[in-house]
Structure 1
């Protein structure tokens, strides 16, 4: 029987700990980029058609991703075992982005983010009928409480948020379906193939509209922010990939909710928005429900890992 050197074990543990801390730092940096992406979109929406903003987002994504991953550098990258599912996934991502960008015309950054945080709840709910991953009564109760939090933010029929909150809710549904389709495709296509397909629907659907809705930016700042829109998205996804290479998803998942801090800060500094008590309370309920779901996932999966 081989004996492990205690010092070797300590060194491995220290390395693992450093990797996890680095992964957490990269995850937080990625979420800051995504918050800056939404803030840039909200700013640009005041100066051009939101669909033009969506087009800029996806063209920049295609250019930046295509520079690194293309048929020359990755032969066969465009071949998919599930081309129709790849197309549907790309369409869902486009719908989620477009709905969110239009909602940002009327809602604060923190308001849209509080609603979008319901995505993990929707994934847990939808995964049952679509993937056979049914949730137990405790997780089902957490999902119900989470949706109550969304209602606190939106306050339907009580003179609460602008009706554009419905766009954010529809965007969250699209994003949940996008996440589920990504999980299904992971068993059939490489991550490079899936990444290349991601922005195709956005470019294909918005490009024909550009000659009719194009507004030339009136200042160098607008051009800079247009460039930043693509850069924030590409950098955010790259940081996300690097984070998951260094730390398990279960370790990183709770830090997703730090994005609300960036959204509140950017909303206040750039737009002078201060979230009301309903947004903060409802967002807190949604976050607590999401964290409880993560906890239950660990509890349910633990016997399987230990078996």
Structure 2
């Protein structure tokens, strides 16, 4: 009797931590867009991963030692790290060309794409309701992108590349989580991204003459690291089925960030598409969690 009561009493704290995590990710995306025309994006990407990798190492190694490096699937750890790196790369380039709120809404169709991939490649049965939610989410995406509209440009399709990479990242995460230590996975993710981005660093490094740009890079790294940490704490305090609907609060925080930093307010059609994605995505993710098929995590850059 004590266990369920304890979980129930801790659920509000878990929800608060998750809301804080998605707020951090929205700040990360907004800051990325702010500096996107002033800092080489590959340099910003390296800084973001290096901050996370070093912070994770400092936090984990003193207590776990080299045992954190043990993994039964080093190739999959490498692939998982590269998938997240490409996810971030698509995010950084997308944010250069798109408003933060609309970008975040499109990214939030990831759980729906996972449903599609699970059906096509993993042979999972998908109910008619989940298929209807997938169709609704993609319809919302088309309303935001409006490929036949006057404001459309091909850069608006970049978030779809992010969604595909992130969907495979999430599927691989759900498979590795059955046998791998979460801290080990997090450790490899940070360092694979850092080392891979380091290959391009000598070619893109630029001397920054403004302390505000350095402060923005530090803020990006801090928000990514703190957001991940708060997310881990949240899932330790509340069931995934309880937390899942609150993931879509990131859309609201992203819209707020876009308004504060760029005075941008989505038009009514974009708002309609964002609402459709939020409703269909939250419902679909909740159904997936209830059926214990795949772990859905917040999307971040």
Q: Equivalents in 1 of 2:125, 2:150: separation in Å? A: 36
Q: Is structure 2 residue 65 aligned with structure 1 residue 43? A: no
- The correspondence of residues 202-217 of structure 1 with structure 2, limited to 5 A, is 202-217=193-208
> What is the deviation of 1:133?
2.9
Equivalent position SS for 1:104: helix
Q: Which residue of 1 aligns with 2:79?
A: 88
Distance 1:178 1:53, change over 3 A: same
After superposition, the CA RMSD in angstroms is: 2.0
Cα deviation per residue 1:177-236 (whole Å; 9 max; x = unaligned)?
A: 100000010122110110111123322222122222112222222111111111101100
Q: Which residue of 2 aligns with 1:103?
A: 94
Q: Which residue of 1 aligns with 2:137?
A: 146
- The correspondence of residues 1-307 of structure 1 with structure 2, limited to 5 A, is 15-70=6-61, 73-297=64-288
> What is the deviation of 1:155?
0.9
Cα deviation per residue 1:256-302 (whole Å; 9 max; x = unaligned)?
A: 0111111111111112212122221111111111132245447757x
- Structure 2: stretches of 5+ with no match in the other structure: 293-301
Q: Is the 8 A contact 1:24 1:243 kept in 2?
A: yes
Q: Is the 8 A contact 1:110 1:263 kept in 2?
A: yes
Q: Equivalents in 2 of 1:298, 1:184: separation in Å? A: 15
TM-score by length of 1: 0.89
Larger Cα-atom Rg? 1
Cα deviation per residue 1:121-157 (whole Å; 9 max; x = unaligned)?
A: 0111112244443211221111111111111111113
Q: Equivalents in 1 of 2:63, 2:282: separation in Å? A: 42
> What is the deviation of 1:101?
0.3
Q: Is the 8 A contact 1:59 1:203 kept in 2?
A: yes
Q: Is the 8 A contact 1:23 1:242 kept in 2?
A: yes
What count of residue pairs does the alignment treat as equivalent?
292
- Structure 1: stretches of 5+ with no match in the other structure: 1-8, 302-307
Q: Is the 8 A contact 1:114 1:279 kept in 2?
A: no
Equivalent position SS for 2:178: coil
Q: Which residue of 2 aligns with 1:4?
A: none
Q: Equivalents in 2 of 1:171, 1:12: separation in Å? A: 39
Distance 1:213 1:28, change over 3 A: same
- Relative contact order, higher structure (CA 8 A, sep 6+): 2
> What is the deviation of 1:40?
1.4
Q: Equivalents in 2 of 1:29, 1:169: separation in Å? A: 26
Q: Equivalents in 2 of 1:206, 1:299: separation in Å? A: 37
